[in-house]
Amino acid sequence: MSKYAGIVVNNESIQLDKIFTYRIPEALSHISNPGYRVKVPFGKGNKIIDGFILYVYDHIEDKSHIVKDIVKVYDKEELFTQSDIKLMEFMRENYLCTYLEAVKLFIPRGVIQGMKNKVIDTIYLSKELDGKYNKTPYIEIYNFIKENEGVFTKTQLAREKGFSISSINTLIKHGYIVKDKKVVDRYNDREYKNYERKLLNHEQKLVVDKVLNSSNKLFLLKGITGSGKTEVYMNIVQHMMDNNKSSIILVPEIALTPQMIERFKGRFGKDVAVFHSKLSQGERYDEWFRVKEGKVKLAIGARSAIFLPFKDLGLIVIDEEHETSYKSESDPKYNARDIAEYKSKLTGCKVIMGSATPNIESYYRTKINEIELLELNKRADGANLPFINTVDMREELKNNNRSIFSRELYEEIKNTLSKKEQIILFLNRRGFSTFVSCRKCGYVFKCDNCDISMTYHAHGNYLSCHYCGRKIRALSTCPKCKSNYVKYFGIGTEKVEIEIKKAFPSARVLRMDLDTTRKKDSYEIIYKEFKEGNADILIGTQMVAKGLDFPNVTLVGVLAADLSLNFPDYRSSERTFQLITQVAGRAGRGKKSGKVIVQTYMPESYSIIFAKNYDYEGFYKDEINIRKDMKYPPFSKILSINLSSKNENLLIKIIQNIGVILKNYLKNSDNIEILGPCPCIIGKIKEFYRWQIIIKGDIDTNLGKNIKDMVYHMTREVYNDIRVSIDINPSNLI
């Protein structure tokens, strides 16, 4: 009896996002599991296209129409497992993506494109030299190969080792040596210095014991900066290895990886797979197979490493779990934290989320006992946390200082340079900034409905709330203190670099931001330069706030805390608290003590005060109350519908129609609020106008799906002119 297969076809059209049934012919009867990539005839013309088997059925109920046969199976083995398929279904439901988008996360692109292992022809011995060939130069070649069998290709022997190509050819021709194929690893690895194992301190030991012995699976490790979280992870990874289990360590983006790779490879050797977005396609392909074939028991990587095909997963670590880079911004718009949790349900693996400044929602879940809380409250090397001082920039203005450096920061920079210690200057800027505030009294224009900063639109000279669409005319006098110092904010890292070079011409300066780290290794190069003391000052954005451990840094300056504080997002206080705490954690990590200076127009803001006092608990209590009052997550879900188009009129017409229909559809749902439609904060990107609708409240998967279907239905006829993006709990609303 033939079996049948439920197949997803490799075609991105949303209309084809379903399961198609095919017969598994006798010739392919070895296929009894899903996970294979196949070729099938499709549509009226029976065009042959690729597909993936997600289900295998023994029989089918509906025999009313003809079921076609699978024509070919590609690989010897399944590419994904039953539990991967469960995860794909979960993603399709929760992130409103298609089957195909989900499938593609589990397989490197190279596999789908038919990439092969990299194979080179290397030279081996075949028989002893004799007769007229038993003499120079043949003997030298022969002996060299004897020592280096399978290492060099013919060309390398000639070009790099200087042997005569015609002599090599002669030996091949007469069968003394042969060419043979060898698979090589494309990930070109270097040696790492041994990262010595440390004796765990009491706190660390307690945490490790709890993770290993608790019946819980999900843990939040709240450990202050420098408390030795990495050592804890490594200890548990070692325990997993001893028990033949694998581990995945997730780190935020590329930024953290050089230091983490250095540490993990320095501890566990070469058998650590590395997986992030800056690898070449070939490198990803090889690393993926190393995992699939069970050659490695540990992988370290960015978000997408969560999908690596480990068979016996024991541990997932999500380091710096509060980072937004764990949420994907393209379809499927998954959050690696949710995926890890779902994987734990499927496989029973442990998940540790680590941070000095946990995400508010994660911490809330420890309070309602969904996640077990573990804490590290001391720095591992006995150092103290640096002293944080805030500088009120309104006072600077009063004293006629209009530079971007306060007098205190200027003096401290001078001091630190003279002591030959290092400085990090941090600009917590997120690409652009358009909020409006008074430089004299610190007043910021906010929307009363939404409690977020209003955005300035130079074109039209008005302020608007990009959550609910409320608009007001821009004022040039401050409503609070009546001064004329109302200004829109904007300062970039480049400008800081110029100003620093003016003020301290002899200082050696490095800049780390998106512009200076576009190339594959540029982050690592800047990191090494600074670590080795080849620069005095590192200027940077969010990138420098993360996890870096530089013992000679004794001064950290936060240039404009208000940039993130007034970012139009309900999480701006949380982000500011996190950024200040994290960046402060870069100072005073060695024997010398550190100092942090935070410049702001709002020193009385709760996120700045709690950050200054290292009071996470206090911050959490205030913040969670605001979230509750305003019905923001974790007390609701947010669904954003984002439309973009080159045709502004059409875009506005369509999104307003969608708004009307949604309002009608949801008019009886008390717990749901619709905000907008209104333009996004970034109203236009590369000729595309952008508008959004935000839905806030009790949104379950069913409602999410209905809204998605509705929006796709309403944009079907303008499919070519309008791009649609739907996201649940987006990490940014810009």
Of 11, 83, 148, 201, the one binding ligand ADP (CB under 6 A) is: 201
Cα 65 to chain centroid, rounded: 46
Query: In this chain, which of 197, 419, 480, 653 binds Zn ion, going by CB under 5 A?
Result: 480
DSSP lists the bridge partners of residue 222 as 355, 375
> Which alpha helices (DSSP H) does 293-385 contain, by range?
336-347, 360-367
Find the shortest distance in angstroms from Cβ 629 to ligand ADP: 33
Binding residue (CB under 5 A) for Zn ion from 95, 264, 467, 527:
467
198 touching ligand ADP, by CB under 6 A: yes
Nearer Cβ to ligand ADP (226/679): 226
User: What is the distance, to the nearest Å, from the Cα of residue 501 to the centroid of all Cα atoms in its chain?
Assistant: 33
Q: What is the DSSP letter of 635?
A: S
**Hey, what amino acid is at 38?**
V
In Å, how far are 318, 418, 497, 498 from 534, measured between CA atoms? 32, 15, 17, 19
Q: Which one of the spans 36-44, 466-474, 571-579, 682-690 is the region binding Zn ion (CB under 5 A)?
A: 466-474
What does the buried/exposed string (b/e) look like for 572-607 if buried means 16 or more CB atoms within 10 Å of the residue's CB? bbbbbbbbbbbbbbbbbbbeeebbbbbbbbbbebbb
Q: Which of these ranges, 52-60, 225-233, 330-338, 678-686, lies near ligand ADP under the rule CB under 6 A?
A: 225-233
The verdict on 416 binding ligand ADP (CB under 6 A) reads no
Q: Which is nearer to ligand ADP, 17 or 549 (CB)?
A: 549
204 binds, among ligand ADP, Zn ion, none (CB under 5 to 8 A by kind): ligand ADP
Site membership for Zn ion, residue 447 (CB under 5 A): yes
Q: Judged by CB under 5 A, which of 224, 250, 450, 597 binds Zn ion? A: 450
Q: Which residue is nearest to ligand ADP (CB)?
A: 228
Q: For ligand ADP, which is the closer residue by CB, 107 or 200? A: 200
Cα–Cα nearest to 235, from 191, 274, 199? 199
Taking each helix axis from N to C end, the angle separating 616-630 and 360-367, rounded to the nearest 10 degrees, works out to 90
Which of 40, 237, 273, 380 binds ligand ADP (CB under 6 A)? It is 380
Listed residue (278, 317, 270) closest to 296, CA to CA: 270
Question: Measured between alpha carbons, how far is 146 from 409 in angstroms, rounded to an integer?
Answer: 65
> Judged by CB under 6 A, which of 229, 511, 595, 637 binds ligand ADP?
229
What proportions of the chain, in percent to the nearest 5, are helix, strand and coil? 35, 25, 40
Spatial separation of the C-alpha atoms in residues 560 and 565, rounded to whole Å: 9
The alpha-helical segments, DSSP class H, found in 354-506 are 360-367, 393-398, 407-418, 493-503
x/- track of binding to Zn ion for residues 562-591 (CB under 5 A): ------------------------------
List, in sequence order, every beta strand (DSSP E) within 593-636. 595-600
CB nearer to ligand ADP: pick between 267 and 696:
267
In the complex, the smallest distance separating the C-beta of residue 196 from ligand ADP, rounded to whole angstroms, is 9
Q: Count the Cβ atoms, other than its own, within 10 Å of residue 270.
A: 13
| Side chain identity, residue 474 | A
Task: State the nearest-atom distance from the C-beta of 330 to Zn ion, in Å.
Answer: 27
Q: Tell which positions 535-564 bind ligand ADP, by CB under 6 A.
A: 549
Phi first, then psi, for residue 695 (nearest 5°) are: -115, 130
- Total length of the chain: 734
Pairing of strands 455-457, 462-464: antiparallel
Of 10, 94, 98, 225, which one interacts with ligand ADP (CB under 6 A)? 225
Partner whose footprint covers residue 332, from Zn ion, ligand ADP, none (CB < 5 to 8 Å by kind): none
Provide, rounded to whole angstroms, the least separation between the CB of residue 426 and ligand ADP. 17
Alpha carbons 392 and 404: distance in angstroms, whole number: 12
DSSP 28: G
One residue of 40, 374, 478, 699 binding Zn ion per CB under 5 A? 478
Residue 673 corresponds to which tokens in the numbers above? 């609020």
50, 101, 203, 231: residue in contact with ligand ADP (rule CB under 6 A): 231
Chain positions 290 to 329 lying near ligand ADP, rule: CB under 6 A, are: none
Interface residue with Zn ion, options 349, 465, 596, 658 (CB under 5 A): 465
Three-state DSSP class for 633? coil
Select 267 or 708, whichever has its Cβ closest to ligand ADP.
267
**Smallest distance, ligand ADP to C-beta of residue 612, A:** 19
Q: How far is the CB of 225 from ligand ADP (least distance, A)?
A: 5
- Residue 527: enclosing H or E segment and its boundaries? helix 522-531
Determine the Cα–Cα distance for residues 438 and 171; give it in Å rounded to an integer: 83
Identified binder of ligand ADP from the candidate list 28, 88, 100, 200, rule CB under 6 A: 200
Both tokens of 584, joined, read 């402060």
Q: Which residue, 93, 99, 96, 17, is CA-closest to 708? A: 96
> Which of 223, 314, 469, 603: binder of ligand ADP (CB under 6 A)?
223
**456 Cβ contact partners less than 8 Å away, ≥ 6 residues apart:** 434, 435, 436, 463, 474, 488
Q: Where are the alpha helices (DSSP H) in 269-359?
A: 281-292, 336-347
Residue 228 found at the interface with ligand ADP (CB under 6 A): yes
Q: Which stretch binds ligand ADP (CB under 6 A): 195-203, 341-349, 423-431, 715-723?
A: 195-203
- From the list Zn ion, ligand ADP, none, partner contacted by residue 486 (C-beta under 5 to 8 A by kind): none
CA distances from 525 to 29, 131, 649 (A): 53, 56, 47
- Contact string 41-70 vs ligand ADP (x = CB under 6 A): ------------------------------
714 binds Zn ion (CB under 5 A): no
Determine, following the binding rule CB under 5 A, whether residue 261 of this chain makes contact with Zn ion: no
Position 443 contacts Zn ion (CB under 5 A)? yes
For residue 441, state whether it binds Zn ion (rule: CB under 5 A): yes
Please give the residue ranges that form the binding site for ligand ADP (CB under 6 A).
Answer: 198-201, 204, 223, 225-231, 380-381, 549
Please give the residue ranges that form the binding site for Zn ion (CB under 5 A).
Answer: 438, 440-441, 443, 447, 449-450, 465, 467-468, 470, 478, 480-481
